Structure 1
Amino acid sequence: MIPASFDYIRPQSLNEACQALSGDDDAKVIAGGQSLIPLLRLRLAYPSVLVDVGRLPELSGVHDRGDHVFIGAMATHDEVIRSRVVNNDVPLVAFAAATVADPAVRHRGTFGGSLAHADPAGDLPAVVLALDGVFVVRSADGEREIPAADFFADYLESTMEAGEILVGVKIPKLGQGWGFHYEKFHRTAQAWAIVGVAAAVRRSNGAIQEARIGLTNMGPTPVRARAVEAALQGVELGDAVRTACQAADADTSPPADLHAQPDYRRHLARVLTHRAILAAAGTP
């Protein structure tokens, strides 16, 4: 299909982009376009104007900021995957980004775009949630930060306000002793995850001291598996881990669609969480 008509602006600075969005609730930001363009073609989105931020240097790059890694919203998935800083300090992000769609999408799609799109079936929202990331957004009125736990509001909805642009995401460094893994089940390599699990695990003296777990496609937003995190504290690897992971679907509301029913997704959440925890803890 052919998109509905819209105006197009390519600002030369972030401030100019914020001004272009100011006062127009129907304006949309376009970056890599991997999520927005299909919506435009299907006429599921009707923006009055597209503000192209694809060439703004303020939104680019991956930066080591001491206690956290700052990933610019315009960094592509491929940049994130190849980043030495990401692989050294927040490797779960690089690992999960490498599972996104296919090479063509990873070279064009942006880290910030996939998060701002707020699709619960996307791989990266659950990862950033598990790692307690912080979103930095800017508008004509200034800049603010939104913790990942408060960023995702509903299906394809975030708590960003009209006129705000995602500048980048702060990912805290967890330090030594942590293992990471992202486990997902999907029909084909390019398909959305039916269920995915992002896991970070810290072990000491053979036992799990702390775990961070984010779930993909288990509700209208990414879900933090708090019940499993609590049950894993102080647990040694073995049957106790499997038992703890039986709570992976607690407080979730998995969707029903052509690919899976809720009860199947609940089963997958329990199985995949167990696999992800064992892999993150270093057990084959």
Structure 2
Amino acid sequence: MITIENDDLLVEISANGAELQKVYNKKEQFDYLWNGNADFWGSRAPNLFPIIGRLNEYKYKKDDQIYELPQHGFAKEMTFEVHQESDIKAVFTLKNNEETIAMYPYEFTLTIEYTLVGALLAVDYRVENHSKERMPFSIGGHPAFNVPLNGAGSYEDYTITIQPKEEVKYFESNPLPYRSGNRKVLQEMKDGVMTLSHETFREGLIIIDEPKLDAITLESPEKHGVTLNVIDFPYVCLWTKEQADAPFICIEPFFGLPDIAGEIGTLEDKGGIILLESGEVKQLGFTMDLF
């Protein structure tokens, strides 16, 4: 386990998936991050690469061959190398290997960097294409936050606020966890504010389709919370475990989408895909401003 720490926060990160395990408020002694209780959902904050969501039949086509990828890709299951470590920064890398090539026949380096600046945690991704061909991929984060935070209030006392405050549309999930291809207005969000309710998520995840979205904030009645600055990402997913009244909410910056339910397709045609030319690098990231 790798630990980075300053006067405000203590952050623990596992080399398995380069996944956050704890984001701890040192002054008030509580953890912002979900604890991974498998009775609800056994992860905490997986990193999603090289796809987001689920492929039809978990498969895709390339050069007349069929490949299989798990939901949200393989990075979350891989052991990363600890490339750099200091008091306030940790850098992890994953390179293609025999296991990844069998699922995803591209040569790459994925770097994930965590940096503390006061009460802000920056998460930065760098993807390098070492293949001799264009590489299709998606990438994103899946952090889950405790609700309630520090034991304050109930689930329905919390709000989600977006900036800028505009009408929000999201992708209809049908059947779960795929998309139907339709977009709907998020009626629960009024003037950029939505009160949390498990009922809102009974039918599944809400992927906000708003490329102008700058920030999204989870806030408690005692004014603890987190603001994710997501300007690099065209989509943000909100999710909690369906039918479970789970005590967490995921706020997920996505550069990619689940498949529309139907036939097996190519990654190049997948929604929200990034096409990275041979030898090129893609960098993007988000921050968590914790209060």
Greater fraction of residues in strand: 2
Taking CA–CA contacts closer than 8 Å with sequence separation of 6 or more, which of the two structures ends up with the larger relative contact order? 2
TM-score by length of 2: 0.28
Greater fraction of residues in helix: 1
TM-score by length of 1: 0.29
